[in-house]
Amino acid sequence: MRPVVPILAIALTVVIAGLTHASAARAADAATAGPALPPGSIYQLDAALVDQTGKRIGLDAHRGHPVIVTMFYASCPAACPLLIDTIRAVERSLDAKQRSQLRVLMVTVDPARDTPAALTALAKSRRIDLARWTLATSDEATIRKVAALLSIQYRKLPDGDFNHSSVLTVLSRDGEILRQSSQLGRVDPEIVAAATR
C-alpha cells in the first residue's frame, strides 16, 4: 500500500500551483486590457464578431484608434457601395497621419450569406484596405444588439435583400459615440472633425 500523505501533498501542491497560475493569468489579462472603459462606450457590449479572415474579434477590435463603424450587406446593390465610397471620401479629407490612425469596422446585417469568404470577396472586388478596414459578421442576436447601439434599423425583404438605415458612426479611441451621420455621397464635415480626435 502506498503512503497516502505524500500523494495528498503532491495533489494539493498541483492544485495550488494551478490556482496561482490562473490568478496570475487573470491579473495579466486585466493589466493588458488597459484602463476601464468610459460609461458611454459601446465597447462594453460583449459582442463576438468574426472578421473576413475567420478570426474571432470583439466590437473593440480597434480600441485605441478613432473608428468609423457602420452596418451593411455584401450583395447590397446601392446604399452599401455608397457607404463604402462615402467612408473613402472621409479618408481622403484627412491628412496622412490622421488617415493612418483611422480604422473602419463594417458589420453585416446578412450573416446567412456574408460568410468570411463572401466578405473577403467583397473586399477584393472593392479594393478595400484590410490593413485598416475590417468586415465582420456574427450571429443574428449579436447583430441586432450592435444595430441597436448604432441606431440602425433593418429588416429582411421577401427577395432576400435588406431595407436598412445607412448611418456612419465615429467612435472615440475608447468606443464612445462622437458623431453620427446619414449623409451619403458627400463628406459630412462633422464626421471628418470627429474622426481626427
For the chain of 197 residues, list the mean pLDDT of each consecutive stretch of 10.
41 38 39 75 96 97 97 94 96 96 98 97 96 97 96 94 95 97 93 93
Q: Report d(CA 139, CA 47) in Å as an integer.
A: 10
The predicted pLDDT at position 106 comes to: 98
Q: Which residue has the cell 496561482?
A: 20
How many residues would you count in the chain?
A: 197
The CATH architecture one would assign to domain 42-195 is 3-Layer(aba) Sandwich (3.40)
The predicted pLDDT at position 3 comes to: 45
Neighbours of 33 (CB within 10 A): 11
143-193, pLDDT tens digit by residue?
Answer: 999 999 999 999 999 999 999 999 999 999 999 999 999 999 889 999 999
* Chain centroid to CA 110: 16
Strands 177-181 and 168-171: antiparallel
The predicted pLDDT at position 78 comes to: 87
Grid cell in block for residue 78? 446601392
The predicted pLDDT at position 2 comes to: 44
Q: Which residue has the cell 495533489?
A: 11
The predicted pLDDT at position 142 comes to: 97
Handedness of CA 158, 144, 68, 193 (dihedral sign): positive
Q: Report d(CA 41, CA 161) in Å as an integer.
A: 31
* Chain centroid to CA 5: 53
